[in-house]
Amino acid sequence: MTWFKVDDGFWSHPKTAMLSDAAVAMWVRAGSYSCQHLTDGFISPPMLRMLGPREAVDELVEAGLWNTAPGGWQFHDWDEYQETSETVKRRREQARDRQRRARAAREKKRATPRDDSSSVTGDVTRDNTREFSTPDPTRPDLVGTDVPTNPPTPQQDSDGGGTLVPLRRPKGGREVAERLNATAHSAEAHMIARQYVEHAGSAVPGKVLGDIARSVDECLASGVGPEQIARGLVAWHESPITATSQIPSFVHKAAAKQAQRGRSKPTDRALSAMEMAETLIAQGVTRE
């Protein structure tokens, strides 16, 4: 089974906030279809009958989530964010090889003569250790991450009749203060984030704005200038990535791309991105 990965910030990203429900549904259905049939993000016209209306295709192309391709449409940067068909086939072949080796090992064990003294326990053990298949999970990352920092310490009951586990202490002022500190960001970072949102032309929830500002603060703390941050925000806006935690990565990549500016004629989309960055910088995104 393959998984079509959807970023947890997809629902509120400026590039998707203005999409119709039909366009969002088509993007998800098409991604699931491509993963199942290993098309590497390519969608052919006959599939639209099951995926959605043609108007939704135009929305996805305009938003930069799909690109037009010979004979159909292609997910933007599919191989950067999803498994390729080659990777999936290799993984499946490795799984089949493991199963073959496991079956061979079991057959070899059955064919090996056993000592009569261990016949009873051997039969019981073998019958009760057979592998059970488990249903497919609803998501691939099943490992829990919500682990308390200080788990309760078991204590032996005084009468020896069991183990006592203390109840978790209710959250008090310290926990609340730590949570508030974790969501704080500087006024300068807030200003840069607000400038970005205004020029992005989309409504952005307050939580997302705060996440953007905190990522900007991270860049400022590492010594990155506002001009470079502005260009990085534009690069993030132009990409299909919706996670605000990736903004610092785009900021550093934007610096490298800026060094190559002028070597080739930029496309209209690249010009639009650079103009947006220049506008952000010109309207006061500078450090005092």
Does residue 101 lie in a domain region? yes
Q: Give whole-number Cα distances, 145 to 10, 15, 150, in Å.
A: 21, 29, 14
Domain edge (last residue) among 50, 85, 110: 110
Compute φ and ψ for 128, nearest 5 degrees.
Answer: -105, 5
Q: Give whole-number Cα distances, 180 to 174, 244, 263, in Å.
A: 10, 19, 46
Nearest to 12 by CA among 247, 205, 234: 205
Domain edge (last residue) among 46, 81, 110: 110
Does residue 149 lie in a domain region? no
Question: What type of residue is 168?
Answer: R
Compute φ and ψ for 183, nearest 5 degrees.
Answer: -100, 5
Do residues 8 and 103 both lie within one domain?
Answer: yes
Dist. CA 150–CA 132, nearest whole Å: 34
Do residues 4 and 102 both lie within one domain?
Answer: yes
> CB atoms < 10 A from the CB of 179, how many?
10
3-state secondary structure of 61: helix
Print pLDDT tens along the chain (288 aa).
Answer: 788 999 888 888 887 888 999 999 999 999 999 999 999 999 999 999 999 999 999 999 999 999 999 999 999 999 888 989 999 999 889 999 999 999 999 998 888 877 655 555 555 455 444 444 555 555 555 444 444 445 555 555 555 555 555 555 555 555 554 455 455 678 888 888 888 877 776 667 777 878 888 888 888 888 888 888 888 888 888 888 888 888 888 888 877 666 666 554 544 444 455 566 666 666 555 444
Q: Give whole-number Cα distances, 217 to 57, 94, 197, 226, in Å.
A: 37, 44, 16, 10
Number of domains in the chain: 2
CB 59 within 8 A of CB 23: yes
Would you state the torsion angle of the CA atoms of residues 136, 139, 142, 145, taken in this order, to the nearest 10 degrees? -170
3-state secondary structure of 156: strand
Does residue 139 lie in a domain region? no
Range(s) of the domain holding residue 40: 1-110
Do residues 194 and 96 both lie within one domain?
Answer: no
Does residue 140 lie in a domain region? no
3-state secondary structure of 75: strand
Do residues 96 and 195 both lie within one domain?
Answer: no
Domain edge (last residue) among 76, 110, 144: 110
Do residues 103 and 194 both lie within one domain?
Answer: no
Does residue 43 lie in a domain region? yes
Q: pLDDT value at position 286?
A: 44
> CB atoms < 10 A from the CB of 214, how many?
20
Does residue 63 lie in a domain region? yes
Q: pLDDT value at position 136?
A: 56
CB 286 within 8 A of CB 226: yes
Do residues 5 and 100 both lie within one domain?
Answer: yes
Q: Is the pTM above the cut of 0.85? A: no
Q: pLDDT value at position 159?
A: 52
Does residue 191 lie in a domain region? yes
Does residue 161 lie in a domain region? no
